[in-house]
Amino acid sequence: MNIRSGKTRLVTNRKPRKWKRTTYITQNQIDQLEFLIYNNLPISDKLIDEKDSVDTEWFDQVMKPEEQYVELPYPNDKYLLTTFGRIFNIKSKKQLIPMNSVGNLYFQKYRFQDLFTNNGLIYSKSFIKECYLKYNWRTSGKW
Q: Tens digit of pLDDT for each residue in 117-127?
A: 988 899 998 99
Q: How many domains does the chain have?
A: 2
Residue with the bigger pLDDT between 67 and 58: it is 67
CA distances to 37, 67, 101 from 61, rounded to whole Å, are: 43, 12, 30
More confident residue, 7 or 76: 76
9-58 pLDDT, tens digit each: 666 777 777 766 666 777 887 888 888 888 888 776 555 555 555 666 78
Is there a single domain that holds both residue 60 and residue 128?
Answer: yes
The answer to whether residue 97 sits within a structural domain is yes
CA dist., res. 136 & res. 83, Å (int): 16
The 10s digit of each residue's pLDDT in 68-110 is 888 888 787 788 899 999 999 888 888 988 888 877 888 888 8
Same-domain status, 32 and 88: no
CA dist 37 and 30 (Å) reads: 11
Distance, CA of 70 to CA of 123 (rounded, Å): 13
Same domain, yes or no: 45 and 86? no
Does residue 7 belong to any structural domain of this protein?
A: no
Cα of first residue to Cα of last residue in the chain, in angstroms, is 56
Residues contacting residue 135 through CB under 8 Å, at least 6 positions apart: 64, 84
Asked if residue 87 is part of any domain, the answer here is yes
Task: Please give the C-alpha separations between residue 23 and each of 26, 35, 71, 89, 132, in angstroms, as whole numbers.
Answer: 9, 21, 18, 20, 36
Q: Do 75 and 39 fall within a single domain?
A: no
* 3-state SS, residue 140: strand
Same domain as 59, residue 39: no
CA distance 126 to 142: 14
> What value does the mean pLDDT take over residues 131-136?
91
Q: Are residues 65 and 119 in the same domain?
A: yes
Q: Is residue 60, in this structure, part of any structural domain at all?
A: yes
